[in-house]
Amino acid sequence: MFGLGTGELVIIFLIVLVVFGANKLPALGDGMGKALRSFKKAIDTSKDDEKPAPKAVEGPGS
């Protein structure tokens, strides 16, 4: 994951804990989760918009 080892992730977590405090971590995680879900939804929507519309199949009498 981004070339980070366990030691680096622990250090980053400790810095975040000191900066934001233990009480704000759940709210911070919730906000990050909502942002990621919104971002993924926007990407999926843009992929759907790029697909060409299916062509109508005409019957034999047309």
Q: CA 43, CA 3: separation in Å to the nearest integer?
A: 25
Answer left, alpha or beta for residue 49, where phi above 0 means left and psi between -120 and 50 means alpha.
alpha
Statement: residue 54 has pLDDT above 70: no
Each domain of the chain, given as residue ranges in start order, spans 12-48
pLDDT of residue 52: 64
pTM: 0.51
CA dist 32 and 29 (Å) reads 5
CA 44-26-8 angle, 5° bins: 80
Give the chain's mean pLDDT: 83
CA distance 40 to 27: 20
